[in-house]
Structure 1
Amino acid sequence: MKSIGFFNNKGGVGKTTLLCNVAASLAIQYSKKVLVIDADPQCNASAYLLGEDELENIFLNTDFYSIDSFFDPVRRGQGYPQQMPEIVRSQRFNVDLIVGSPKLSIREDLLATDWAATRNGEHRGFQTTYVFKELISRLDAYDIILIDMGPSLGALNRAVILGVDTFLMPLSVDIFSMMAVENIIKSFNNWKLALSDAIQKYKDEEGNEFKISDKPVKWDLDFAGYVMQQYRAKSKGGVREPVAAFERIISKQKDELV
């Protein structure tokens, strides 16, 4: 099983649309068993993959065990729950889905607070920080898991990034998308350094390593690559002419990505 986060610090780059159509292609054209996890509180992937009636029935069903519900025992310091978020089927895209929840935005405070505990090497902090890794580790019946993420560099997306195997970055050709790449590099470097110290503190405090599925946690994130939107270019005599300003941005983005 491979888990892939679709992430950029800038919104409006086609991230959700790309994810949903890649998921459908992998399922329909390549016969892969695909699960989409909507980890964006805006729930755009859920709205894209399901009909309005399906979504309404899910959100009005008080017994529906959502992705947000998975956090409740963790919040209470009771550890990870045995029950898994409910999985629904997108008939249109031929993939399974863990529906998003606007309540995930509220979990940001929990994840941010317990990140301090993680950095101190505390067990509770590690449990909270690695909640998505625990969730994903239980889904090995799938070939590929694609996780939709919001454009934030906050605690929620940090927990997702620490849970996935790799991430893919959709990009647009503009100066703000280039600045977002710089933000991601800085944040990831800071998280990696903080986690390295935290893991050592945990070992010193607990006398062993924090494990998910019997594997010690560590920073082992891979970069799957990027997908860049094409800009509209003028054509002269049927030939597409490059736009100098956009080409400069593309060149700088590529340098940052390397």
Structure 2
Amino acid sequence: MKTVSIINLKGGVAKTLTTVSMAYALSQQYNARVLVVDNDKQGNCSKTFGVHSYDRQSIADLMLDRDADLAEVIQHTKYDRIDVIPANMTLLTANMQVMMDSSRPQQTRLRTALRKVADLYDYCLIDNAPDINISTVNALVASDEAVIPVKIDSYAFDGLIELKNQIEITREELNPGLRLAGCLITCFQRQAGEQTGEDWLRENLDCPVYKTHIRYSGKVVGSSFECKPIIEYSKTSAAARDYLDFVSEFLTAEKRG
């Protein structure tokens, strides 16, 4: 199972949209078995896939209970080959409790849990909160790769250097196999300054930038209200077509690597 963290310290850059779109394309276009981990207390990924609930177990249980039953935590969705470990606001409390629990390792809990189901899936995609907390550290420790969605605007690069440093620290101290796969430019509108921003990324962050740009599309708002992946909601929209291209590029890079 290849595990990929979708992560950025800045909100509003299409992390959840990217996670959902990758999961849908990988499962429906490439017949891959995909486990989505919602690692954000907002639970937007869980809502999109129709598994958000306070009556069932969630990622908070995995963080707190070493004996949590994965069969109870993992939720099947209406989509073939897509399962979800959901999240809700209980993750906020769980993060605080993990930090106070010194009885067992704090940073490796998610990795330990995911290893139990690694043979059941081809890909695990982790949708992370715009923060560095104990659950996002757990995600990086559990991941093979990190993909950073970036929206090019005046605040686009806030936290990127810090995030890259966190990825490097995690690789050096906890997960030697972790690599930064690349930055994905989202919400692209061909406005003045966007090329300058992309040039800055390529020259200053010292990480790959995917050739595919995810264009802005008003259909994304409609897909969020309908709780459907954009590729299902409007396959001909710019964003849907771009995400299909991105997944193709992502898989090609995987084969090369």
Q: Does 1:83 align with 2:65?
A: no
Cα deviation for residue 26 of structure 1 reads 0.7
The one-letter code matched in structure 1 to 2:128 is M
Matches within 5 A, 1:119-198: 124-126=103-105, 128-140=106-118, 141-192=120-171, 195=173
Is there any run of 5+ residues in structure 2 with no aligned partner, and where? 208-257
Partner of 1:251: 199
Tell me how far apart the structure 1 counterparts of residues 74 and 171 of structure 2 sit (CA, whole Å).
32
Cα deviation for residue 92 of structure 1 reads 4.7
Aligned CA distance change for structure 1 residues 96 and 220 (closer, same or farther; 3 Å): same
Deviations 1:109-131 (A, max 9, x none): 234445xx6xxxxxx452x2200
- Match of residue 98, structure 1, among 85, 91, 107: 85
Cα deviation for residue 94 of structure 1 reads 5.2
Tell me how far apart the structure 1 counterparts of residues 124 and 171 of structure 2 sit (CA, whole Å).
23
Tell me how far apart the structure 1 counterparts of residues 108 and 116 of structure 2 sit (CA, whole Å).
13
Tell me how far apart the structure 1 counterparts of residues 63 and 189 of structure 2 sit (CA, whole Å).
44
Tell me how far apart the structure 2 counterparts of residues 252 and 181 of structure 1 sit (CA, whole Å).
12
Tell me how far apart the structure 2 counterparts of residues 82 and 104 of structure 1 sit (CA, whole Å).
15
TM-score by length of 1: 0.71
Partner of 2:214: none
Deviations 1:132-173 (A, max 9, x none): 101111112111111111110222211111111111111110
Cα deviation for residue 174 of structure 1 reads 1.8
The one-letter code matched in structure 2 to 1:132 is L
3-state SS of 1:224 partner? strand
Partner of 1:19: 19
Tell me how far apart the structure 2 counterparts of residues 252 and 134 of structure 1 sit (CA, whole Å).
37
TM-score by length of 2: 0.71
3-state SS of 1:101 partner? coil
Q: Does 1:110 align with 2:94?
A: no
3-state SS of 1:153 partner? coil
3-state SS of 2:36 partner? strand
Matches within 5 A, 1:63-82: 64-73=56-65, 80-81=66-67
Tell me how far apart the structure 2 counterparts of residues 93 and 47 of structure 1 sit (CA, whole Å).
17
In terms of mean alpha carbon deviation, does 89-98 or 3-12 score higher?
89-98
Query: Is the CA contact (8 Å cut-off) linking 1:6 and 1:167 kept in structure 2?
Result: yes
Question: RMSD of aligned C-alpha atoms?
Answer: 2.2
Partner of 1:211: none
Aligned CA distance change for structure 1 residues 188 and 29 (closer, same or farther; 3 Å): closer
Is there any run of 5+ residues in structure 1 with no aligned partner, and where? 74-79, 118-123, 196-216, 234-241
Q: Which has the larger radius of gyration?
A: 1
Cα deviation for residue 82 of structure 1 reads 5.2
3-state SS of 1:223 partner? strand
Query: Is the CA contact (8 Å cut-off) linking 1:49 and 1:93 kept in structure 2?
Result: no
Aligned CA distance change for structure 1 residues 192 and 227 (closer, same or farther; 3 Å): closer
Cα deviation for residue 181 of structure 1 reads 1.2
Tell me how far apart the structure 1 counterparts of residues 3 and 171 of structure 2 sit (CA, whole Å).
19
Identity of aligned residues (%): 20
Aligned CA distance change for structure 1 residues 37 and 218 (closer, same or farther; 3 Å): closer
Tell me how far apart the structure 1 counterparts of residues 2 and 189 of structure 2 sit (CA, whole Å).
34
Aligned CA distance change for structure 1 residues 16 and 98 (closer, same or farther; 3 Å): same
